A and B are shown apart, each in its own frame.
Chain A
């Protein structure tokens, strides 16, 4: 593993780090982590295999192999990122490689909720703004400090306002993205609800 992994925990208010750009629409979870790596009973080893086939097959050096990107933690992507299979192995692999936040034009639904569930905020931006920061981060080292409360990405030169779903924002700020405890707070209501469902007794 490349560096000491501090996986997300508790309330998340800000994320600082270097950007890494990955260009392309419709990048599916089969590409993020090919199916053969799903043969595992825990997620620990996945970081090394992220984009395995793209990295092996590409004629140019893949962004995840570029020396300058090795410490990056904010991933910049285009549209419909994470479509396809629901495998949480995909965000887990990105997270274990070192990604802590993703900014993109749009995200596939299940991928988005998987990211939230493991503490990786996904922000959206317009196509033009994404292109702008992708260009910048490819040409020089681009760092951001992301403030989740305000959904702002800042560096010494400029400030960008990002979009973040209100429900996701609150979950990061109060730590409820790690949902199990929140859900179990309502256990009495859950029991009541189950008893009321007609089909449970059919």
Chain B
């Protein structure tokens, strides 16, 4: 059993009670809500004649259904309009802070909370969305929940949970030039498998992780869930504190040093005990691309799609399904596979640094003919900062479309969708069958730099070749 890790410390601090059968009642310090998983929760609350108990601990925004082209209200899509309208009413009625479109603070919930300083070390954070794990980058324990649990948090600010085990993922050495956090996390998921994390919290640590910026750490923690772990975290350090300092909801000036001291005390002890330890050599990670239908089915850019005989027995059937669905052959090179659509965005890679690196690659280049390429900033703030640096112009000049913030083609609940069996090069996090809006659409996950390179060549390419120039 783990001991003295950040996870253990934060868990103990938030434990309200032990419940019969071995589970615990855990206090949720910050609750984030959005339009898709909250309406039924508010409905259930009304059915039970309950109220939102601690409204100041919940914050809302809209992201999943918002159109990224024309955002004027009412939305063209009636169902989308109904969902945002329901959220507006629920927030207003329950006095919940709501960052609506046009507020300057709207965006993907996992982009917005960190950039506002809402996400802080030592918190427990829950949201009706599996990528809540993103917030672990700050040393918080953050996890996705279902709608009934959203109801419970609204009603009681607590949840019933079973304590997770803690796996330390020690990332040694450093990532090499032109290799990014996205490549590292895809590599980790590939090495450990998409189920390995079940029952675990992942602690990402080691020199390669310390060297990452806060935005890159968010990318890693974001995809913990793709590795089966409900949450992932990085111990907070000076970078974490600097990132938070001065943000709208950061601790006030008078409380700052108190806050920092408390945060430091939460870091996993040197002698902490873990349930498992995995070591990864980050210097060996290559730009990584998925070739299949789970985020674990990935290879380095210069590798070939594995032969069935090279795949573990347990993974053979899903590999077979993947060859068939993707229309790729075992042994085929991933580099050079033609693509149709390029998507830069999502809570994994829709932040300013993602847009900056992609812009660096597309600058003075043109999107290949017949490729639809678009950028969807993760939030209104990201969009604003990107524009102030002129990134929108760079993208537009090269032939990318520049859109309004939202989840967009990460899950295709708005009108941004693949058509037929189109192949997308996508900076998002899931390549499941049908994920990007077409039941036979195909997704290749990769870093924003790799998506940018693919947009220019029209096929899967090595972004490093563009970064050298």
Contacts and interface: CB of A to CB of B under 8 A. Distances in A.
A35 B151 CA distance: 21
A109 B228 contact: yes
A31, A198, A199 — which one has the most chain B CB atoms within 10 A of its CB? A199
A198 B122 contact: yes
Interface size band for B: 35 or more
B413 A186 contact: no
B158 interface: yes
B25 interface: yes
B411 A35 contact: yes
A80, A179, A200 — which one has the most chain B CB atoms within 10 A of its CB? A179
Contact of B21 (A42, A91, A166, A201): A166
B302 to A, nearest CB: 27
B146 A113 contact: yes
Contact of A197 (B29, B152, B318): B29
Contacts of B262: 198-199
A200 B27 CA distance: 12
A117 to B, nearest CB: 4
Contact of A87 (B13, B48, B123, B146): B146
B151 A168 contact: no
Given A39-B413, A109-B198, A86 B434 contact: no
A87 B129 CA distance: 7
A156 interface: no
Interface string A152-190: 000000000000011111110010100110111011011
Interface stretch (B79-87, B282-290, B353-361): B79-87
Interface string B384-412: 00000000000000000000000000011
Contacts of B155: 180, 183-184
Contacts of A184: 50, 155-156
Interface in B58-74: 64-65
A187 B17 CA distance: 11
B120 to A, nearest CB: 6
Interface of B is mostly: loop
Contact of B40 (A36, A41, A109, A197): A41
A53 B259 CA distance: 49
A167 B19 contact: yes
A166 to B, nearest CB: 5
A109 to B, nearest CB: 5
Contact of A186 (B147, B148, B158): B158
A61 B106 CA distance: 44
Interface size band for A: 35 or more
B14 A190 contact: no
B321 interface: yes
B156 A41 contact: no
Given A109-B230, A110-B130, A193 B27 contact: yes
Nearest to A109: B230
B186 to A, nearest CB: 16
Interface stretch (A12-20, A21-29, A129-137): A21-29
A171 B25 CA distance: 13
Nearest to A44: B40
B22 interface: yes
B152 A179 contact: yes
A80 B295 CA distance: 14
Interface string B251-286: 110010011001000000000000000000000000
Interface string A31-47: 10011101111110000
B419 interface: no
28 contacts: A26-B195, A30-B430, A38-B36, A39-B65, A41-B39, A42-B39, A57-B440, A79-B195, A80-B194, A83-B194, A83-B228, A84-B432, A88-B146, A108-B228, A109-B228, A113-B149, A117-B148, A165-B162, A166-B22, A174-B20, A176-B19, A179-B152, A179-B159, A180-B50, A183-B152, A183-B158, A198-B122, A200-B29
Interface of B: 13-14, 16-17, 19-23, 25, 27, 29, 36-37, 39-40, 43, 48, 50, 53-54, 57, 64-65, 77, 79-80, 82-83, 86, 120, 122-123, 128-130, 143-149, 151-152, 155-160, 162, 194-195, 198-199, 228, 230, 251-252, 255, 258-259, 262, 294, 314, 317-318, 321, 411-413, 430, 432-435, 437, 439-440
Given A42-B43, A198-B262, A202-B120, 11 more contacts: A26-B294, A28-B432, A31-B432, A36-B413, A40-B79, A41-B82, A79-B195, A106-B195, A180-B48, A184-B156, A200-B29
